[in-house]
Structure 1
Amino acid sequence: MQAMNFFAGILLLLMPEENAFWALVGLIDDYFDGYYTEEMIESQVDQLVFEELMRERFPKLVNHLDYLGVQVAWLSGPWFLSIFVNMLPWESGEIYGINFLTFFV
């Protein structure tokens, strides 16, 4: 499972190993089913939606990235695949992890 190591690490810091394992399994099965398949269809769909939002909100930035030959998904893909956990400082990640888990309870 690509990029889930960041989230798995936070789960391991917040709960016992077996609970963290089953929380990760439940999270992927219930909310990210198509994200971590070989085709990564759900992730690709989210990337396209995000790129369209970027084009609407930040057209100059996306045009500049296009000019440089850089796709938005190259930059944002790791954020989505790791559920944004690897983009935050640990202090924020700890709060995020707790709030995230509360949401799914």
Structure 2
Amino acid sequence: MDCIFCKIIEGAIPSSKIYETDNVLVFRDIQPAAPVHALIIPKKHIASMNDAKDGDFALLGEVLAAAQHTAQELGVADSGYRLINNCGADGGQVVFHIHFHLLGGEKLGPLNAKA
């Protein structure tokens, strides 16, 4: 499999880890779109939200719990943050391993549907 996130999970590609459990990895985005920009990924390869099966939703709950923990750890839980999952090419997904972007550290503007 030629998935960059799987290679990060395996340690073949270095990352700036923020938080890790048996099932989830959180690391800093190398091209941050905000002062705080973390990626939260399950260690199990699931290509996109559309590929998640019934048995994957408990794992995705762990991903959301890791996002909450990370927001607290990075100091943006109280001020606010955005959690984004892009699904499919038209949804802006570039890496086809399900992941969530946690953005914060500044006042984020409204989403523009025409972006």
TM-score w.r.t. length of structure 2? 0.29
Higher helix share: 1
Bigger radius of gyration among the two: 1
Higher strand share: 2
TM-score w.r.t. length of structure 1? 0.31
Greater relative contact order (Cα 8 A, min sep 6): structure 1 or 2? 1
